[in-house]
């Protein structure tokens, strides 16, 4: 587990935005991962994707690392933000925009507004 923890720490610290997910950003393999990746992709966020289905140690390790039981998990600037429901709520409330702004993460504000308009 130490190797997985070290690998996870290095990944979340080396990338401004990281999504631990089932599948990849271009080929999500579960609905929850697809929703979060879809939001990030639509908003034009540059992020690292880690497919937990390819490594059981990482799949369990990320749950232990964050003390969060489910996948996907989004990290911004090394900090755990949340899973699908939290990211969805933050997107719709504008909190995700604020988080990205405060951390210097580039994203398409118009795309974020379109997501909110479509879900109003």
Backbone angles phi, psi at 21, to 5 degrees: -150, 170
Whether 43 contacts 58, CB under 8 Å: no
Q: How many angstroms separate the CA atoms of 32 and 3, rounded?
A: 27
* pTM for this entry: 0.95
CATH number of domain containing 11: 3.40.30.10
The count of domains in the chain is 1
What range does the domain containing 94 cover? Answer: 2-118
Per-residue pLDDT of the chain (120 residues; tens, 9 = 90+): 469 999 999 999 999 999 999 999 999 999 999 999 999 999 999 999 999 999 999 999 999 999 999 999 999 999 999 999 999 999 999 999 999 999 999 999 999 999 999 998
The rounded Cα 40 to chain-centroid distance in angstroms is 8
Question: 84 a known binding residue?
Answer: no
């Amino acid at each position: 587990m130490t190797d997985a923890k070290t690998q996870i720490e290095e990944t979340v610290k080396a990338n401004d935005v990281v999504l631990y997910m089932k599948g990849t950003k271009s080929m999500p393999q579960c609905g929850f991962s697809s929703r979060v990746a879809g939001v990030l992709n639509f908003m034009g966020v540059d992020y690292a994707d880690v497919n937990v289905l390819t490594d059981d140690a990482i799949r369990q390790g990320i749950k232990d690392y964050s003390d969060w039981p489910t996948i996907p998990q989004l990290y911004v600037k090394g900090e755990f933000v949340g899973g699908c429901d939290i990211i969805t709520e933050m997107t719709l409330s504008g909190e995700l925009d604020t988080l990205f702004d405060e951390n210097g993460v580039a994203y398409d504000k118009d795309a974020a507004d379109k997501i909110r308009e479509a879900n109003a």
